[in-house]
Structure 1
Amino acid sequence: MTTLEGKPAEPEKVFIFNQEKCTGCMECNVVCAFSHFGVADFNKSYISIIPDPNKQFYFIGIHCAHCDDPICKASCPVNAIIKDEKTGLVFIDSLKCIGCQFCIVACPISQPRFDIERRVAVKCDFCKSFNYDPRCVKFCPTGALKILPREEARKLAQSFRGIK
């Protein structure tokens, strides 16, 4: 894929969560909520770290996957959800959002969240206001969160599942 200028397009990037490295410290939650809302409130964070019910002292990171074909986008009746074809990132236009919450119901991991104060759906924007340098990744003390090109992340995920 190339840009309009004929240069190679930068590959789409996604989050990778390494369960083996996560200690459950919740630093990613705190920094996410503080960066976006100015408060250290786990309920406002765009990433959730929950205990793994199958492994003691292990955690599961739940975060927006910025899907190839986002079901949240397809479910929005007012086209308030946009997938940037250049970066692969999925955004919610809060000026268009009517707060119906269809995107939250449609997402298999319920990653769009409802902002009660603003009455709109919100989700991870890859820290757009920080020049797409996600704070959760930057401040994770163990390196459990990483950003990889989508294809590399897909291959890594398949290797974890034993798929070739």
Structure 2
Amino acid sequence: MPLVKTNVMRILEQHKIPYTAHEYPYGKDAVDGETVARMLGQDPARVFKTLVARGKSGGYHVFAVPVDKELDLKKAAKAAGEKAVELIHVKELLPLTGYVRGGCSPVGMKKAFSTVFDASAAAQETIMVSAGKIGYQVECAPQALAALVRADFAPVTAD
């Protein structure tokens, strides 16, 4: 277990969701997800990044997609029940979610937003998401994670 216990880890424990914490070396700047996957010796298809988008309705939506894939905005809009969605600007992330770029987790945001995990997550035994702090990831069953944040599974990545 890492020396640091993040809010995400506390929430998982409160809900009795088993997880494995992973720690990776980091500097001041966030590293991209594929680098994180490599540093942790993980298949990038199992390591998910958390993206936040604003829908045409003005509502916010959270998408968890494999770090080696891009979010398809058309598919994301359809999954979120929106006409269109666009990713929020990085400066909006912290005030909106409570997380910084590179440490954004679908678990424990300031408010509960509609959340969609890419359909590929459902086929994995476990997936990794940010533990809410740069340098830390949590690995757990995608179904348990999705149930916790009331997420749907849908194909939202670009082909």
The structure having more radius of gyration, on CA atoms, is 1
The structure whose residues are more often strand, as a share, is 2
| TM-score normalised over the length of structure 1 | 0.25
